[in-house]
Structure 1
Amino acid sequence: MADVIYQKINTSEYLNIKSKPVHVKEQLEIKILDNSFLPGAKDDDWFAHSALPALKLIEKERPGEIKSFLSIGSGPGLDVLASAEVFGSKKLVLTDLHENIVESGVQNVKANLLEPEKVEVNGYTGDIFEPLRSRTNSNENQRFDIIYENLPNIPLAENEDINKLRSSSRCLEKRSEDIPKEIKDALLDLHYLAIKQVHEFLNKNGALISLISGVIPIDTIKSLEKYIDGVKIDIYYYNWNIQTSFYSVINDYAKQEEHGYGPFIFYRENDLKKAFEGVSDSESGKKARDIEKSLADKRITATEALKRFNQGENIGYTITILKTTIIDQ
């Protein structure tokens, strides 16, 4: 039997709201299995730190319109619960690679909703969209108003077992799909595959929200669009964060640089603070290129970042939230 951790989370603090939650409990109790991603403090939690503000912007633009929400690779389901509070969606779905994590995630969502009997909650096990795909007719696929993904991008080491790995940053490297070299070199494989397939699973006016570490240049991230027909990809939200020891990814990216991948970009904390000073959530996406340009001479490689990080220097990176919509809708 897998080891279990029960984590208590104050909803108002996690969601950064002043009012009492209306769709989920004030105090969440999240069951986390030993092969599931373990949420850290808020600044270590990429969803809370960067994806959540983007989802709040969507709700502000389309109040009450997001009736269905899907999280690809949800883990314990905390992102689904947060989205349930933000959108008030009545259809919540999550997926993951591991059946035990899916079952636990669904239990977490149902147990922490205020009125679970009024919400359809389902979970599916499998790779990206495969468990949601109709075997007979793509028109019968489940469709959603918002789909969220923060898929892993660092190839799994040969001595690592994905069934026992708690980190959410690793993925299986060998895939059968044809992936452009530019995308593969930037470790954007799974994001590319999700965006390429998402038209089969979005409702009209729906959107895919992708969280991508900004250690990859914006031009490279935007290059996804030129390889996929019929989609519009916008930099919807742009943020930064400091690398902590809780889940250090610098070492992973430094190893990938040694194997010829990249470039991967990091910055000193003070340089990031200055570049983002005075930028609001709503304008961050539109100003992303200007911010990146202002940091051009402040870039450091993952290899150099790791050296400085190990010496005690505060090292950070940007985070990019993409919004993908279907052009012909």
Structure 2
Amino acid sequence: MSIRIDHPELLVSPTEFFRLEETTRIKPSIGLKLSDRSYLPKADQPRADWVASVAVPAFKTLARMGFLAPRFCTVGTGAGLDVLAAVEILKARTVGFTDLHEDVLDYAHENVRSNLLDQDIELLGGAGDILAPLAGQLSDVDVIYENLPNIPMAESGDLADGQTSSTFISARSEEVPSFVEKYLMTLHYLALQQARPFLRVGGRVLSSIGGRVPLPEALAMSRAAGYNSSILTYTWKVQSEPDEVVGGYARWEREGLGPFHFYPVGLLRSTFQGVSAATAGAQALEIEEALAPHSIPASDALALVEKGEEVGHTVVILDSVKVPDSLD
């Protein structure tokens, strides 16, 4: 059993962290309270942070397309920054959010509520597995955003012990296509399945998936779950929690899964320099092909990390749009 340790309040500037000119619906300085099981935002290194470097560009892309999300939901919210970004960028007014642990969810709820300028926003939170905590509470959702873990936890691991956002318990009763398991996309597939009753027709699931797996396999996963799938945005990030994450991928690569791909940070920076996430999304398959000769398998990436070197990976926002049941 873990002992809860509250971190000092973390301050984040949304104009800098989200790269916004101004904020109108959330406070100009965000104060975040975290427990020892909350995912720690990378406030001093946005390129390593999932919300800043991945979710926000995707939300901005949807907004530029004229697609807002008055009804929004996020799975695995952590500190609640993704909710605040959706309120500001996608104009969310009814928001569902989940996380695995009650204490993480409680802090997220407090973080969101205390940093809203517009208090006329409905918050629906639930702790537990993927979307199950919100069953019966939320419907006709415009956008569900998920950034779920990929790495099955070792048998000796304990999800209740400390910050374990990169791993999940692999024993599941649901049927999952073999290629989904091979590339460690199990929770993403299950989130797509659970999302269908929550979404309106034309609503979409944005799945944040590290491009350590081949993009055609991610697209095939969405189609296998019954959605129209495409790539919304494509970008890169520095690998956060490198020992734990790269080590986890290396372990499963040795078991015959994958292979999983990492890249030198300098190569990723130069490849994506001056290219928007949306433009890269339209060219994602071509970019991935160009990067392929420089990919580093997880075992070699782990050796680099152990030497103190940084590695990075690409990230795709998989856009899965719900179609009418008659067209499934």
Give the whole-Å Cα distance in 2 for the aligned partners of 1:61 and 1:226. Answer: 23
Instruction: Give the Cα–Cα distance (whole angstroms) in 2 for the partners of residues 24 and 268 of structure 1.
Output: 36
Q: Which residue number corresponds to residue 57 of structure 2?
A: 53
Q: Please give the secondary structure, in 2, of the residue aligned with 1:122.
A: strand
Q: Secondary structure at the match of 1:267?
A: strand
- CA distance in 1 between counterparts of 2:220 and 2:201 reads 24
Report the alpha carbon displacement of residue 125 of structure 1 after superposing the two structures with TM. 1.6
Q: Quick one: which amino acid aligns to residue 166 of structure 1?
A: Q
Alignment counterpart, residue 251 of structure 1, candidates 237, 247, 252: 247
**Are 1:326 and 2:322 matched, yes or no?**
yes
How far is the alpha carbon of 1:47 from its aligned partner? 1.5
Residue 35 of structure 1: CA displacement?
1.3
C-alpha deviation, 1:276, in angstroms: 2.7
Secondary structure, counterpart of 1:4 in structure 2: coil
Alignment of 1:235 with 2:231, yes or no, is yes
1:197 pairs with 2:194? yes
SS in 1 for 2:11: strand
**Which segments of 5 or more consecutive residues in structure 1 lack a partner in the other structure?**
135-139
What are the superposed Cα offsets for residues 88-112 of structure 1, whole Å, 9 maximum, x if unpaired? 2211221111122222211111111
- Report the Cα offset of residue 317 of structure 1: 1.0
Counterpart position of 1:30: 32
User: Within 2, Cα distance between the matches of 1:196 and 1:285?
Assistant: 24
Whether 2:124 is the aligned partner of 1:122: answer yes
Alignment match of 1:206 (pick from 203, 208, 211): 203
Q: Tell me the amino acid that sits aligned with residue 165 of structure 2.
A: S
Structure 2 residue corresponding to 1:298, chosen from 291, 294, 300: 294
**Rounded Cα–Cα distance in structure 2 between residues aligned with 1:194 and 1:313:** 34
The answer for the alignment partner of 1:16 in structure 2 is: 19
Change (3 A) 1:82 1:226: closer
Q: Distance in 1 between matches of 2:13 and 2:242?
A: 20
Q: For residue 77 of structure 2, give the secondary structure of its aligned residue in structure 1.
A: coil
Distance 2:176 2:65 in 1: 34
How has the CA–CA distance of structure 1 residues 130 and 153 changed in structure 2, closer, same or farther, with 3 Å as cutoff? same
Q: What amino acid does structure 2 have at the position aligned with 1:267? A: Y
Instruction: Kindly state the Cα deviation for residue 296 of structure 1 after the two structures are TM-superposed.
Output: 1.9
Give the partner amino acid of 2:293: D
Three-state SS of the structure 2 residue aligned to 1:317 is strand
Contact 1:44 1:246 in 2 (8 A): no
1:174 aligns with 2:152: no
Q: In the TM superposition, what whole-angstrom CA distance separates every residue of 1:158-204 from its partner, at most 9, and x where no partner exists?
A: 23211123142111110000111111011100100111232211123
CA drift at 1:62: 1.6
Aligned: 1:68 with 2:71 = yes
- Measured after TM superposition, the shift of residue 121 of structure 1 is 1.2
1:215-294 equivalence runs, <5 A: 215-229=212-226, 231-243=227-239, 249-294=245-290
CA shift, 1:33, in A, is: 0.8
Please give the TM-score of this superposition, normalised by the length of structure 1. 0.91
Residue 316 in structure 1 maps to residue 320 in structure 2? no
SS at match of 1:209: strand
- CA offset digits 1:138-166 (Å, max 9, x no partner): xx853311110001111112232111231
Considering only aligned residues, what root-mean-square deviation do their CA atoms show, in Å?
A: 1.9
Q: 1:141 to 1:85 in 2, by over 3 A?
A: closer
Shift of 1:308: 2.4
Deviation at 1:8, TM superposition (A): 1.0
Which letter maps to 2:63? E
Question: CA deviation digits over 1:32-71, x for unaligned, max 9?
Answer: 01111111231221121111101111011126x4211111
SS in 2 for 1:94: strand
Note the alpha carbon deviations across 1:230-286, whole angstroms, 9 max, x for none. Answer: x11111111112235677521221111122221101112233234334432221111
Instruction: Please report how far the alpha carbon of residue 122 of structure 1 lies from its aligned counterpart in structure 2 after TM superposition.
Output: 1.9
Matched ranges for 1:133-148 at <5 A:
133-134=135-136, 141-148=138-145
Report the Cα distance in structure 2 between the residues aligned to 1:102 and 1:242, rounded to whole angstroms: 26
Q: Offset at 1:311?
A: 2.9
Q: Percent identity?
A: 34
The question of whether the paired residues in 2 share the 8 Å contact of 1:308 and 1:315 is answered with: yes
